[in-house]
Every structure is written in structure tokens, then in C-alpha cells.
Copies of this chain bind each other. A is one copy, B any other.
Amino acid sequence: MSSNNCYDVTTWPVGNPSEDVGEVINSIIADIKDRQTVTDANNGGKPGAVIYIPPGDYHLRTQVVIDVSFLRIHGSGHGFTSSSIRFNVPEDEWPDLHELWPGGSRILVDIPLGGDGEESKGAAFYVERSGSPRISSVEFSNFCIDGVHFNPDGSGMPSENTYVNGKTGIYVANANDSFRVTGMGFVYLENALTIYNADALSIHDNFIAECGSCIELRGWGQASKITDNLVGAGFKGHSIYAENHGGLLITTNNVFPRGASSVHLDGVTRSSVTNNRLHSFYPGMLILAANSSENLVATNHFLRDHEPWTPFLGVDNGLNDLHGLLCVSGSNNSVIGNHFSEIIDSQSIRPAGATPVIIRLMAGAGNFVSNNHVVALDVHSESSDSCFSAQVDALLTTEASDALAVTAVMVDSESARNTILDSGSDAQVIADRAVNALRATPTVGFQAAHALVAQ
């Protein structure tokens, strides 16, 4: 029914895309499979297809199931707007708002979740194919997946602030190769993007915000990249998470609050977290857990400050200030050339009176921590009813602040044979000098003594 493998959800004869774009897309995929049955006919046969979603609102009531390679689904607008801000505007002010909802090529996820709560059931796009070869080159580009509403979670938090609704944007269940997610918008989903067993995956230049968790690479995988995204999860979830990956490149991302972590790696090896801007309201920003080893953490900008927005005051991730902004349980990692700003009100430190920790080596051996710069300021924090101006004010505030004493690097007894260079003054590094090599950052007066020796 398509002569050139190009489909448009608004012109496809089956289903009504406004009412259920899932039914429409599944019908298109069935058509692709009906037409592309022969392979190896003159070295070809199953080229796949492209499905276009024009700007518009499309309810999705039937889960899309993708089991063909070379399928590209694209729209003409990532369509993000802040639902979180709007839902925290009194409803009697809504008539004064220019618009209420996200837009662009917008999928409204409206799936009747099953009673069993199985996570994959709540996915708008579900990719599943077993057998060989692995499903390849599925691409999602430049449209918006909107979960529309969050639900009560029993905590007393207003329902639209819970980040809970059982909905996932894209869920890839099986081993896959050379997938692409580019230019997309994700908003108000409990999980934006969940991908198992990825090889050579590219998640590039997306806008993923106000979702419970944003990017989760589960199972295992290799040689993928998460680059140049704007990302910010909810307070319960992950902005960027990966487990059992090797050769993963996480770089050039701007990760904003309020994820429970900014980047969380579990059993990840020989990977890079470099050149990102990470901002969080809690400790535990970058976590290398479960023997994550031989990774490079370099030239990232870490900022931890306080929640400035009234609706989320008092919310945290349960970690206290001794946990560290960067926490390493693993071996032979490199932590080089990062900037850390800890801008907090000393009255808020937990446990009260503690000295906050910036880099913490919890377990493992052989980590190399070098040339990191820690800035810590004690500020009187203020909150605001305006999310945006509060955040900007907080970001730009450096006036009227005092230096705050911190532990730049703390090495637990379970971690040994680490090398710590120029990442804190002698007093700012807590480590057993008998089993770790330390060169403290020189302070004024060092030069004189040094010069004496070197001459």
C-alpha cells in the first residue's frame, strides 16, 4: 500500500491517529512485513521504512510493537514545554496561559496499564525481536512522547509531582544494534528510554526532562554513546543509568536536577564520563558502583546546590553529605580535571556538623584521582515559587558567601592503592597514607620550600 516505503500516520487508511496512533503504526508495521517478505533477492529485500508523524496531538492507546529492522519513526518537533511548572500553577490561572500542554509531533501515552504492573506493558513503543540477527537500525527522531499526567504515589506528594505513572516512552527488550534516538522530546513519563543489551547505540541531541528516569541502559552492552543531550530526571530516578556496559561514551550532556543521581554506572567498565555539565540538589551525583572499573571521569563540571523551588522543598534522595558527589566502588578508574562546586547552606548539612565529602572512594583499588578542583561555599539558600527565576538566581549567586570546609577526597579502608594528586590540600584529603599515594595540592608557602629543594 506504500509504493516507496514512506508512511504518514495521518494518511494511513487503518485507524484514527488522533484517537490511537498505536493502532495506526502497528498496521503500518504489518504492511511493511506483508510487503517485505523476500530476502536475498539480488542482495536485498527488506529495507524497512519511514513513518512520519506530522505536528499534532496523537493519543496512543495501543502499544506499538516493533519487530522489524530499519524502521525510522520521525516527526517535526520535539515539543517540550514544562508540564511540571504548569501543574504547579494554580488552575484558576490556567485560562491566562498561552498554552497548557507539550506540542510538536506529540504522542500522548494513554495506555491502559495491566493489573500486573509489568513495566514493559506501559511502554508506548515496545521493541522486541529474538532470534538472529539482532534487530538493527531502528531510529526515533524529532517527535515528542508525553506521559501527560503523574499519579498519586501514596506519599502525600501532589499527584503531578510524583514522577509515577507506570508509563515508558521507548522500551527495547532484546539485543539490538546501531539504534538511534535523536532530536526527541520526552516528558512526564515514569521512564523515558529503557534499552536492554545495546550495541553501538546512539542517544544524541535529545531533550529528556521531567521524567522519573530518563536514560537507562540495562542488561549489558558495548560501544554506545550518550552525547549532547539535555537531561533531567525526577527526584526518585536516574538521569543517565547504565549497567554492565563496556566502551560507553557519556559526553557533552547537560544534566540538570532533580535526578536522584546525574549519572549512575553499575558494573560498567572501560567507559568514559567526560565533558558533561552535571547539576544536582543532592549528594551522589556520579556513582560508579558494583566494581565499575577502568573508567575515565574527566573534565566534567559538577554543581551541587539546594533545591530552590517551593513545591520540592524537603525532597531529597536519602543520601547525606558524607556520601560524596562522586562515589567510586571500583578499581583503576581515572578521575582527572573535574571541577566541583558545592554551594550549600552549612545549616543544612546532614549529619549536622559534618564535613561534606566531594570525591569518595568506597571500595576497590588503583584509582587515579588527579587535578580536580573543589570549590565550596556556604550560602544562605532561598526558595521561590518561580522555578525558572529561582534556579537562575541560585546559579548566578556567588555573593555574600563564605568558604565552606569540605573533604575533597575521602578514601575508605575498603579502597587501597589509589593515587591522589593535586585534588585537595593535605587537610582536605582523608586517606591512609600507608596504602594510598598522595600529593596534596600545594598551598601558599609550598613554592618556597619546593624551590629550596629543587635548586
Chain B residues positioned under 8 Å from A137 (CB to CB): 77-81, 102-104, 185
Chain A window 322-337, contacts with chain B (Cβ cutoff 8 Å), 1 for yes, 0 for no: 0000000001101011
Chain B residues positioned under 8 Å from A303 (CB to CB): 247, 270, 294
Answer whether residue A99 sits at the interface, using C-beta atoms and an 8 A cutoff.
yes
User: Is the pair B55, A422 in contact by a Cβ cutoff of 8 Å?
Assistant: no
- Chain B's nearest CB lies how many Å from the CB of A133? 6
Chain B residues positioned under 8 Å from A244 (CB to CB): 396
Answer whether residue A455 sits at the interface, using C-beta atoms and an 8 A cutoff.
yes
User: Is the pair B336, A98 in contact by a Cβ cutoff of 8 Å?
Assistant: no
List the one stretch of A119-127, A152-160, A201-209, A349-357 in contact with chain B. Answer: A201-209
- Chain B's nearest CB lies how many Å from the CB of A354? 22
Answer whether residue A45 sits at the interface, using C-beta atoms and an 8 A cutoff.
yes
Task: Decide yes or no: A395 and B54 within 8 Å by CB, A72-B76, A249-B252, A444-B434 being known contacts.
Answer: no
Answer whether residue A312 sits at the interface, using C-beta atoms and an 8 A cutoff.
no
- Chain B's nearest CB lies how many Å from the CB of A381? 15
User: Is the pair A299, B279 in contact by a Cβ cutoff of 8 Å?
Assistant: no
Q: Give this chain's copy count.
A: 3
How far does the alpha carbon of A360 sit from the alpha carbon of B328 in the complex, in Å? Answer: 30
How far does the alpha carbon of A193 sit from the alpha carbon of B55 in the complex, in Å? Answer: 25
Which residues in chain A, 368-410, are within 8 Å of chain B measured between CB atoms?
A: 368, 370-371, 373, 375, 388, 391-392, 394-396, 398
Answer whether residue A24 sits at the interface, using C-beta atoms and an 8 A cutoff.
no
Chain B minimum-CB-distance residue to A199: B388
Answer whether residue A57 sits at the interface, using C-beta atoms and an 8 A cutoff.
yes
User: Is the pair B446, A178 in contact by a Cβ cutoff of 8 Å?
Assistant: no
User: Is the pair A299, B301 in contact by a Cβ cutoff of 8 Å?
Assistant: no
- Chain B's nearest CB lies how many Å from the CB of A225? 5
User: Is the pair A48, B79 in contact by a Cβ cutoff of 8 Å?
Assistant: yes
Q: Which 8 A-B pairs have the closest CB atoms?
A: A246-B395, A70-B103, A44-B57, A50-B76, A81-B136, A5-B55, A368-B373, A296-B339
User: Is the pair A46, B101 in contact by a Cβ cutoff of 8 Å?
Assistant: yes
Answer whether residue A10 sits at the interface, using C-beta atoms and an 8 A cutoff.
yes
How far does the alpha carbon of A175 sit from the alpha carbon of B82 in the complex, in Å? Answer: 13
User: Is the pair B80, A55 in contact by a Cβ cutoff of 8 Å?
Assistant: no
How far does the alpha carbon of A70 sit from the alpha carbon of B301 in the complex, in Å? Answer: 31
Chain B residues positioned under 8 Å from A59 (CB to CB): 42
How far does the alpha carbon of A439 sit from the alpha carbon of B445 in the complex, in Å? Answer: 10
User: Is the pair A272, B247 in contact by a Cβ cutoff of 8 Å?
Assistant: no
User: Is the pair B39, A99 in contact by a Cβ cutoff of 8 Å?
Assistant: yes
Chain B minimum-CB-distance residue to A272: B301
Task: Decide yes or no: A398 and B45 within 8 Å by CB, A185-B137, A277-B247, A444-B436 being known contacts.
Answer: no
How far does the alpha carbon of A418 sit from the alpha carbon of B388 in the complex, in Å? Answer: 33
User: Is the pair A247, B82 in contact by a Cβ cutoff of 8 Å?
Assistant: no
Selected contact of A230 from candidates B99, B225, B371, B455, CB within 8 Å:
B225
How far does the alpha carbon of A414 sit from the alpha carbon of B132 in the complex, in Å? Answer: 53
Task: Decide yes or no: A256 and B247 within 8 Å by CB, A202-B205, A275-B275, A339-B334 being known contacts.
Answer: yes
User: Is the pair B82, A133 in contact by a Cβ cutoff of 8 Å?
Assistant: yes
Would you list 25 pairs from A and B whose C-beta atoms are within 8 A, ordered by A residue?
A3-B10, A40-B101, A43-B57, A44-B57, A69-B81, A80-B178, A81-B137, A103-B137, A175-B388, A199-B392, A228-B228, A272-B277, A272-B339, A275-B275, A294-B341, A296-B299, A332-B375, A337-B370, A371-B371, A419-B443, A434-B444, A435-B444, A437-B442, A439-B446, A452-B453
Task: Decide yes or no: A56 and B47 within 8 Å by CB, A230-B202, A438-B442, A444-B417 being known contacts.
Answer: yes
